[in-house]
Amino acid sequence: MNVLLCSINTLKRLYDISAVEVGQHFYWQIGSFQVHAQVLITSWVVIAFLLVSAILVIRNLQTIPTFGQNFFEYVLEFIRDVSKTQIGEDYGPWVPFIGTMFLFIFVSNWSGALLPWKIIQLPHGELAAPTNDINTTVALALLTSVAYFYAGLSKKGLAYFSKYIQPTPILLPINILEDFTKPLSLSFRLFGNILADELVVVVLVSLVPLVVPIPVMFLGLFTSGIQALIFATLAAAYIGESMEGHH
């Protein structure tokens, strides 16, 4: 009897140490909607970081760039290169969109992996990367969907819909299906990667807190960066695909 109680107690203590909260959110009431406040808060932090760093760098532009200006110019060249490769000639108007996607996703992923969010404790749920919530990634994916529709319609007008029967009309149902699977795959890819990495790290930390999680954290940094790049590249590719073929 005592032995049983002891084991139950140790199990309970283990449970206390290794508690992982997934799925419990911190809700705010706005109008008749409940929003995930922790995602909003971390998103605001990411946005503030991006805006402040950009404003700080832009203030004193010079021909021979300083370190910060050089870094931002390098990032801009990288994003321009990605857009140009995927979209083709009229890539100019789409650079801000692709850049925003890339930078927001990259900074939010890395902030989730690098910043000690768990120090701040919320009544329910916890702070983490904003992209670990399916709502964020679905929002980004739907924005991409709207963007490539807008690109195709503004460039080709109603002739855009001829692309649905493009190689042969038999592929019409597959092309329509593609319009649904594209945002689906974008959102789930990003969400799955970020949430999974976060969960793995948390579980490892709860098992062996000290050194073992470190390789997984590096892997997480690497894959989250790659995911940001993939999201941006795919968004640019979809936009380019819907704008092409304008003979």
Partner 1 sequence: MKNITDSFLCLGYWPSAGSFGFNTDILATNPINLSIVLGVLVFFGKGVLSDLLDNRKQRILRTIRNSEELREGAIEQLEKAQARLRKVETEADRFRVNGYSEIEREKLNLINSIYTTLEQLENYKNEAIHFEQQRVINQVRQRVLQQALQGALGTLNSCLNNELHFRTVNVNIGIFGTMKEKKN
Site string for partner 1, 58-87 (x = CB under 8 A): -----xxx-x--xx-xx-------------
Tokens of 3: 């032995």
The DSSP string of 213-247 is HHHHHHHHHHHHHHHHHHHHHHHHHHHHHHH----
Cβ-based nearer residue to partner 1, 33 or 67: 67
Cβ-based nearer residue to partner 1, 143 or 217: 217
Note whether 50 binds partner 1 by CB under 8 A: no
Strands 27-30 vs 33-36: parallel, antiparallel or unpaired: antiparallel
Identified binder of partner 1 from the candidate list 47, 138, 221, 230, rule CB under 8 A: 221
Note whether 223 binds partner 1 by CB under 8 A: no
Q: Which residues contact 109 (CB under 8 A, 6 or more apart)?
A: 129, 131, 194, 224, 225, 227, 228
Note whether 199 binds partner 1 by CB under 8 A: no
Element (H, E) at 33: strand 33-36
Angle between helices 134-156 and 213-243 (to 10 degrees): 20
Note whether 210 binds partner 1 by CB under 8 A: yes
Asked if 109 contacts 195 with a C-beta cutoff of 8 angstroms, the reply is no
Note whether 217 binds partner 1 by CB under 8 A: yes
Note whether 3 binds partner 1 by CB under 8 A: no
Tokens of 46: 């990411």
Distances (CA, A) of 85 to 74, 109, 126: 16, 24, 39
Identified binder of partner 1 from the candidate list 14, 54, 184, 214, rule CB under 8 A: 214
Part in contact with partner 1 (CB under 8 A); list of ranges 41-49, 87-95, 146-154, 203-211: 203-211
The whole-angstrom separation of Cα 81 and Cα 73 is 12
The whole-angstrom separation of Cα 156 and Cα 152 is 6
Part in contact with partner 1 (CB under 8 A); list of ranges 82-90, 140-148, 202-210, 223-231: 202-210
Identified binder of partner 1 from the candidate list 23, 116, 157, 167, rule CB under 8 A: 116
Question: Other CB atoms closer than 10 Å to residue 245's CB: what's the count?
Answer: 14
Cβ-based nearer residue to partner 1, 183 or 213: 213
Note whether 167 binds partner 1 by CB under 8 A: no
Note whether 1 binds partner 1 by CB under 8 A: no
Cβ-based nearer residue to partner 1, 17 or 170: 17
Cβ-based nearer residue to partner 1, 65 or 192: 65
Positions in the binding site for partner 1 (CB under 8 A): 17, 63-65, 67, 70-71, 73-74, 114-116, 118-124, 201, 205-206, 209-211, 213-214, 217-218, 221
